[in-house]
Amino acid sequence: MTQQVFKSDYQWNLYSSSGRASVGGNFLKTWRNSEGQELILTEIAIVSSWIDRTADKISFSNLKGDFSVVLSQVIVERLRLELFLSKLADCFDLPAEHSIQLHPNAKDQTFAFSLRVPNFSNSLGKMEFCIAYSGIDFIEGKWSFLIDHSCVKIFINEINCSFDTLGRAA
C-alpha cells in the first residue's frame, strides 16, 4: 500500500513548494515491449490553484482551481523514470539542469520531466520542475512549478512504494 503524506486520489504526487500545484499519477499496468524494455501505462494529473481573480482583495487563503489536466494513457519506460528519480534525489546537492524523455520511442506521444535552476530572486533552495507532453490531438502542453527538498523526498517515497505495488513485468 502506498504511504501518502497528503490526501490524494493518486498513488504518487510531487507537490510544489507553495502547495498550490502538483503532478500526481497512478501506475496502471506494466509489460515488456519487443525490445525488452519495461513499460508502464500511467495516468498523470497536473493541477494548480490560484487566487480568485475576480475578488476585490487578494487572498491566498481562498484559492480557486486554476487548471486541471488528466493524461490517462501516458506510457513511460521504467528505467528512464528510475534514472530521473536518481537525478531528482541529488538535485539540491548538485544543482544542475536535467531533462529526460520518459519514452523516447513512442510513436504518438512525448512525455518529459525536467529540472532547472530557477532564476527567480525568491527561489533559494528550490528547483524548477517542468513537465512537457504532446500527443496526436494535444499539440503541446508545458507546466512548471518550484519544488523543494521536502517535496522531492515525499515524491520519491511515494513513487518507490508504487513501484513495489506494481511489481516487475515478466
* Each residue's pLDDT tens digit, 91-105: 878 777 888 899 888
Stated as kind and residue range, the H or E segment containing 156 is helix 149-166
| Domain boundary assignment for the chain | 12-166
Q: Which helix (H) or strand (E) holds 70?
A: strand 63-77
- Lookup: cell for 5: 503524506
Q: pLDDT per residue over 120-169, tens digit each? A: 766 778 899 999 999 988 889 999 999 998 999 999 999 999 999 988 87
Instruction: At 157, give phi and psi (nearest 5°).
Output: -60, -50
Lateral strand order in the sheet of 38-51: 12-15, 21-32, 38-51, 63-77
Angle at 3 between CA 110 and CA 65, to 5 degrees: 55
